[in-house]
């Protein structure tokens, strides 16, 4: 059921994600390597000298189910890493996500609800395990190898759900590309400008030139999300001047200032504002 929700969300909210050959094609049915079992049975996943235990719990007072994830080292010492309504050992586990020479453990927590919320924790499994601070987003992560062979994270900025009165499924969620290393998570969208350009070309093709003139005079709802898709592609590939130029060229004149301010304010509360720049910390 959860996979179907994910698939529907990405198919409706980010249609270009599956259509673009230039971007990796996520296999959402394979991102969960191990998930808590609701029948109450603990499950484990072994990675080198470590073991991850997923232990389901029931809260009788709230009548809710939740899961705890703990890391166990070779000496049998256990440290809890995450607790959420659902917890999974996630795609990317076993790979060198942080480029530090160690296999990584990736945990995904899911709080439930129709559109919210995912929490990710990346753990480096060296002689002494260390972890980045968790990061939360309303859209899931997907790990892929960049042109340099190192791992990148593709997601979308969940802050733009229901943006400016648009329905959640038709909101133009900006694509975000991140890099993880021992100093934290970093925005690397500028390294993928050509792939963003492919999306821009597809979006521009959806609106005939004569319709742009009409849209500038009257707010045609069917054109709003397409124009925003173009603006966001420029903005999240670190081309802010071109983003605002596009807004000036394609958005209704009387509404441009309001829309620019709204985009700026929403982005300031989005995933890029949550990137943790502190070094990975050793797990006690």
Whether 127 is in a domain gets the answer: yes
Q: Please report whether residue 257 resides in a domain.
A: no
N-terminal to C-terminal alpha carbon distance within the chain: 36
Question: What does the angle CA 271 – CA 274 – CA 280 come to, to the nearest 5 degrees?
Answer: 125
Note whether 211 and 264 are within 8 A (CB). Answer: no
pLDDT in tens, 32-46: 999 998 778 999 999
Is 131 domain-assigned?
yes
- The verdict on residue 72 lying in a domain is yes
On whether residue 107 sits in a domain, the answer given is yes
* 187-242 pLDDT per residue, tens: 999 999 999 999 999 988 887 776 666 666 555 666 788 899 999 999 999 999 99
Query: 139-185 pLDDT, tens per residue?
Result: 999 999 998 999 999 999 999 988 988 888 888 899 999 999 999 99
Inter-residue contact 159 to 168 (CB < 8 Å): no
DSSP assignment letter at 193: H
Could you tell me the residue range of the domain that residue 57 belongs to? 2-193+270-282
Residue 132's contacts (CB-CB under 8 Å, 6 or more residues apart) are 98, 121, 122, 123, 180, 182, 184, 185, 276, 280
More confident residue, 148 or 21: 148
8 A C-beta contact, residue 108 and residue 2: no
240 falls within a domain: no
Structure tokens at 270: 């989005």
Residue 252 lies in a domain: no
**Mean pLDDT computed over every residue of the chain:** 86
* Position 4 pLDDT exceeds 60: no
- N residues, the chain: 284
Q: How far apart are CA 49 and CA 219, in angstroms?
A: 59
Total domains in the chain come to 1
89 contact partners, CB below 8 Å, separation of at least 6: 32, 33, 34, 35, 45, 52, 54, 69, 105, 106, 107
Q: How far is residue 4 from each of residues 8, 11, 172, 219, 280, measured CA to CA in Å?
A: 6, 10, 20, 34, 34
What's the pLDDT score for residue 59?
72
Whole-model pTM?
0.85
In a domain, 219, yes or no: no
């Amino acid at each position: 059921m959860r996979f179907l929700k994910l698939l529907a969300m990405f198919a409706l909210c980010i249609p270009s994600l599956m259509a673009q050959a230039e971007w990796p094609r996520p296999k959402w049915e394979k991102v969960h390597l191990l998930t808590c079992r609701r029948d109450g049975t603990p499950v484990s996943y072994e990675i080198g000298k470590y073991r991850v235990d997923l232990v389901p719990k029931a809260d009788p007072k709230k009548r809710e189910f939740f899961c705890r994830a703990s890391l166990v080292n070779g000496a049998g010492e256990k440290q809890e890493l995450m607790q959420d309504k659902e917890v999974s050992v996630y795609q990317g586990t076993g790979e060198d996500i942080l480029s530090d020479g160690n296999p990584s453990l990736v945990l995904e927590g899911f709080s439930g609800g129709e559109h919210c919320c995912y929490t990710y924790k990346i753990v480096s499994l060296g002689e002494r395990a260390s972890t980045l601070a968790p990061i939360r987003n309303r859209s899931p992560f997907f790990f892929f190898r960049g042109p340099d062979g190192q791992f990148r994270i593709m997601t979308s900025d969940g802050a733009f759900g229901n943006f400016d009165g648009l329905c959640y499924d038709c909101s133009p969620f900006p694509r975000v590309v991140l890099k993880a290393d021992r100093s934290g998570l970093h925005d690397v969208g500028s390294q993928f400008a050509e792939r963003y350009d492919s999306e821009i070309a597809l979006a521009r093709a959806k609106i005939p030139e004569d319709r742009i003139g009409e849209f500038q005079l009257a707010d045609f709802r069917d054109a709003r999300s397409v124009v925003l898709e173009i603006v966001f592609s420029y903005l999240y590939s670190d081309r802010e001047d071109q983003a605002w130029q596009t807004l000036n060229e394609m958005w209704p004149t009387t509404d441009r200032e309001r829309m620019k301010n709204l985009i700026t304010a929403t982005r300031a509360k989005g995933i890029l504002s949550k990137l943790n720049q502190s070094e990975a910390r050793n797990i006690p």
